[in-house]
Amino acid sequence: MDKLIQDLKERLIEILNLSDVSPDEIDENAQLVGGDLGIDSIDVLEMVVMVEKDYGVVINNKEIGEKVFSTLSALADYIHKNSPKAAS
Amino acid sequence: MSLQKKVYIAGIGLISPLGCGLQETESSLQKNSSFISPLDPSVFQTRQPPPLPVGQVRQLQETDTLPRTHNLAIQAAHQAMEGFSFAPDAVIIGTTTGGILSTEELLNAGVKDPAQYRYHGLQTVAEETAKSLQCQGAALTVSTACSSGTVAISMALKMLQSGEAEYILAGGVDSLCRLSYYGFHSLQLVDLKGSRPLDKERQGMSVAEGASLLLLTTVQTDRSLARILGCGLSCDAHHAAAPHPEGRGAAEAMQKAMENGKIRSADVDYINLHGTGTPDNDLAESRAIRSLFPEPPPLSSVKGATGHSLAASGAVEAAIATICIRENFIPANTGCHTVDPECGVNPVLQPRQSPLTTVLSNSFGFGGNNACLLIADTSHPAPPEESPPSLPLTILGKACITGAGHTEESMERFSRLEGIAGVLDGKALVRTLPARAVRRLGRFSKMALAIADAALQDSGCSEPPDSVFMGTGWGALTETFNFLDKLRESNEKFPSPIDFVGSVHNSAAGQTAIMHSATGSNITSSGGNYSFEEAVLAADTFLENRSPGAFLLAADEAHPELSRLFDPSVTAETTPADGGGGFYVSRKAVADTIALRLRFFRRAHQGSTARLAEAVAENGENNKQCTMILAGIPADEAAVGEKQLDDFMQLTGLDVPVIHYRKFTGEFTSASAVAAVMAVHLLEEGVVSASSRILVLGFGRSLTAMEFFRQ
C-alpha cells in the first residue's frame, strides 16, 4: 500500500505538472481536490484517465469519483481493491 | 453627433443536422424531434465503439481538395448570397476546427509534406470563403470556442453600425472531428443518450457540426429578414472550461446586449438558450436568466435537436431566431421531459405559434467567453446609438518575447541591429509567473500571460485592463499535438482532458482574463501572418471609450513537429523562432504617449496596393510624416511581397528607411506583434523624430497597415 501511495504521488506530480512539489510534501490524508495542491475538476478527469490507463481501474460514476478522489489514501485504497492486478 | 447605422439581415445560409436552409430547418423544428444519432463512419471511423451520438450534417457537398469545415462554410456562403450579384465588403467567420479533421488523418498517416496541410489554419476557412465569393475586402477569423459564431456576427454588427462597411457576411462553422468528439467525451460532458437540455436527468451535450452565415447590411429593403439591435460580450474570468456557477458573465453579456439594443428585459419575447445540456451550463444559464428577468419570457434550447455545433451554434441559432421572428414561432426545448427544478425556469416543451418581435440569443464557451445577440423584426422601433468619436488606441505599456529574451533584451539587441530570432528557454519565459498558476499551460498560453503581465508592469498602472484582444496564427500547438498523439498512441482510448482544454485557440486569452480578472470583451482572432493586425481590428471595433483598457496581444509557439508542417514560411533550413508582443491599450488620450491606428486591412488582389498607398499617403494622424517603415514579408510569399512593397514605395513616393522585420524576429505568424513593439520602442527612444509616424506594413495574401505616432 505504501508503495502504491508513493507511486501515485509521483504520477500526480508528473501528469498534473506540480513541478514545485516533491512527493514527500504531499499528505496522502489531506483533502485532494480544492486543497493546498490547487487540484480542480479538470485535474480529477486527468487522474481518472491515468488510473484506468496505468492501473486498469475504471471510475465512471460521479458519486464513486467524489469518494475516491477525496484523499490520496482513498484513491490508493480504491485502486488496491479494484485493480485487476491486485485480484490476480 | 451622428447616429450609428441600423443593421439588417439580408440573407441567410444555413446548414445543420436539421437540414439546409430556413424552410427545412423550420419544418424540422416543428417536429420537435432529435436529429442526433451515432457518428456515421463516413465522417471518420472511431476505434472505440460504440460511436457516440452526434449532430451530423447529411447534405454536404464535399470536394476533394478542401476540408469538411471549409466545404460547410462555402456552401452556407453561397446560400446566403443567393439573389445578390455582388460580393460582400468583408467576410468574418467564427471557427474552432478549421482544417483539423483533415490534419488528424494526415498526422495519423504520417504525412510529412507541408503542402498537404495548407488548409489546416483557421484563417483558411474565411480566406477560401472570400475567394469563392470573389470578396476583395478583409477575410477575418474569430475563435472564441463555442461563442465564435456569435462574436463574428457581433463584430460585423459593430463594423456596419460605424459605417466601415455596407455588406458583411458573418457567422460560424465547425465540422465534426476527433479533437472535439474525444475532447468533450474526456471531460465527461457528452450525454450517451443524446443531449437533453434542462432535463433533470441530463448528462451533457452532443457534439455536432454545421454552418450558418448571415449577410448583414445597413441597407434596408423589402427583402430584409430581420434587424440586429445589439450585442453583448463578456468573460467569466473564472475557469478554463467550467462556467461561473452563478452565471455572472452570462448575465453580464445578456444585460449588455439589451443595453446596446436599447430595450428593457420586459421587451424580450423569447430567449434562445445556449442550453448545451451539460449540468453546469444549464444551471448557470438559468441562474443568470433569473437574475435579470423577474418573470422570464418563453425560452428554449434547440441543442436537443441540433446538438452543439460549437463555433457554428451561435450563428445557427441567430438564423433560427430569424425564423422565430418571421414565422411567429417558438421552437421546443427538444429532449427535455422532466424539467430540472434546480434550474427554476420553464422551457417551452412543445413548438408553438406565438407573436414575437424580439429574441435574445445566448452563446457561451470555454475560456468563459460569453456573447449574446438581440435580434428583432425589421420594423423594431429601437433607435440606434450615437456614434462615439473615433479615437486611436493609446499605448500605456508594451512588452514582447523573442528568441533574445523579454522586452529589454530584445529591444537592446534590435537597437544594435542584431537578430532576435530564436526560441526562448521555457524557464526564462515564465520568470515572473507563479509556477502553480501556469503548471497546466503550454508554451503558447505562457507566452501570452508573460507578455500581458510585462505590459501591465510597463504601464505603471495599478489597475489591469478589463478586456483582452488576442491574435494567434496557430494557437496551442503543444496541447493540440499532445492530445492527438496520446489519442493515437492509446488507440483512441485515453484522450487527455487537460490537453483538450488547453488546445482551444482562446485558451491563452481566457487564462489572461482569469489572471487579471478581466471580465469585459475577450476576443481571440486567428489570421495567419496577420493575426496581430486582426486583434488590433477587434480592439478597434470593441474597445469602448469609457473602458479602462485592454490587453492587445499576439503570440505563436514554435513546435518541433507541427510548425514545419503548418507554416509554409518555416522550412528545415529556417532557424526555429517564436514569441509575440503586445500592449496595454486604452481609448483615453494621455499626453506624450504613443498611439496606434489600424489604417488598412484587405485581401491582396489587383489594385489593392494602390488602395493601401492611398490609405496611408494621407499624412495620417495630426499631419505627421512617415519617417520609417517596418515591412513584414513572410518567407513563403517573398516574391509577391517584395513586388507589393516596391509598388507601394513607388506609388507613395516615400523615401524612408525600410526595415524587413522578419530578418530580425525570424519566421513566425505573430512576428508583426514584435514589429509593433519595435515601432513603439523607436518612437520612445527618439530614433525617429517625435513629430513623425512609423508604419508597420504587412504584405502577402493580405495587405495591412498599422500606424504608430506620438500624441
What pLDDT sits at residue A88?
A: 42
B501 contacts in A (CB within 8 Å)? Answer: 42
Question: Which of B240, B436, B495 lies at the smallest CB-CB distance from A38?
Answer: B436
Location of C-alpha cell 465569393? B133
Q: What is the pLDDT of residues B103-116, one digit of tens each?
A: 999 999 999 999 99
Catalytic (active site) residue B308: yes
* Residue B290 neighbours by CB under 8 Å, 6+ apart: B296, B344, B345
Q: How many C-alpha atoms does B157 have within 13 Å on its Cβ side?
A: 30
ipTM surpassing 0.90: yes
For residues B144 and B506, what is the distance between their CA atoms, to the nearest angstrom? 5
How sure is the predictor about B435, in pLDDT bands with cuts at 50, 70 and 90?
Answer: confident
Q: Which of B275, B272, B323, B269 is nearest to B295 (CA)?
A: B269
- Say if B7-376 and B393-710 have the same CATH topology: yes
What pLDDT sits at residue A87?
A: 46
B490 contacts in A (CB within 8 Å)? Answer: 53
Task: Determine the residue of chain A that is closest to B185 in CA distance.
Answer: A45
Say if residues B119 and B280 touch (Cβ distance below 8 Å).
no
Location of C-alpha cell 456614434? B387
* Residue B488 neighbours by CB under 8 Å, 6+ apart: B107, B108
Catalytic (active site) residue B146: yes
Match domain B7-376 to its CATH number in 2.70.98.10, 3.40.47.10, 3.40.50.300, 1.10.287.3510. 3.40.47.10
Share of chain B above pLDDT 90, in %: 92
Q: What is the pLDDT of residues B169-218, one digit of tens each?
A: 999 999 999 999 999 999 999 999 999 999 999 999 999 999 999 999 99
Q: Which of B681, B682, B600 is nearest to B648 (CA)?
A: B600
For residues B495 and B489, what is the distance between their CA atoms, to the nearest angstrom? 10
Say if residues B141 and B174 touch (Cβ distance below 8 Å).
no
- CB within 8 Å: B187 and A17: no
How sure is the predictor about B689, in pLDDT bands with cuts at 50, 70 and 90?
Answer: confident
Is residue B620 over pLDDT 70? no
Cell of A12: 500526480
How sure is the predictor about B589, in pLDDT bands with cuts at 50, 70 and 90?
Answer: confident
Average pLDDT over residues B670-696: 95
The CATH code of domain B393-710 reads 3.40.47.10
Is residue A51 over pLDDT 50? yes
For residues B581 and B576, what is the distance between their CA atoms, to the nearest angstrom? 17
As a whole number, the mean pLDDT across chain A is 90
Asked, as a colleague might, if the bond just before B49 is cis with ω within 30 of 0, I would say no
Catalytic (active site) residue B605: no
- CB within 8 Å: B440 and A20: no
Q: What is the pLDDT of residues A68-79, one digit of tens each?
A: 999 999 999 999
Helix (DSSP H) and strand (DSSP E) numbers for chain A: 5, 0
How sure is the predictor about B621, in pLDDT bands with cuts at 50, 70 and 90?
Answer: low
Average pLDDT over residues B550-572: 97
For residues B378 and B225, what is the distance between their CA atoms, to the nearest angstrom? 7
Residues in chain B: 711
Q: How many C-alpha atoms does B179 have within 13 Å on its Cβ side?
A: 32
- CB within 8 Å: A42 and B498: yes
How sure is the predictor about B690, in pLDDT bands with cuts at 50, 70 and 90?
Answer: confident
- CB within 8 Å: A20 and B241: no
Question: Which of A41, A46, A53 lies at the smallest CB-CB distance from B242?
Answer: A41
Residue of B20, B70, B135, B146 marked catalytic: B146
pTM: 0.97
Q: Which of A14, A69, A46 is nearest to B498 (CA)?
A: A46
- From the CB of residue B112, how many other CB atoms can be counted at a distance below 10 Å? 12
- Residue extents of the structural domains in chain B: 7-376, 393-710
Average pLDDT over residues B467-487: 98
Q: How far is CA A34 from CA A44, B466, B511, in A?
A: 11, 27, 19
Q: How far is CA A55 from CA A88, B267, B309, B589, B617, in A?
A: 13, 57, 35, 61, 68
Q: What is the pLDDT of residues A10-38, one digit of tens each?
A: 999 999 999 889 999 999 999 999 888 88
Please identify among residues 469-528 of chain B the ones whose CB lies closer than 8 Å to any CB of chain A: 490, 493-498, 501
* Residue B573 neighbours by CB under 8 Å, 6+ apart: none
* Residue B113 neighbours by CB under 8 Å, 6+ apart: none
B185 contacts in A (CB within 8 Å)? Answer: none
Structural domains in chain A?
A: 2-20+27-87 (1.10.1200)
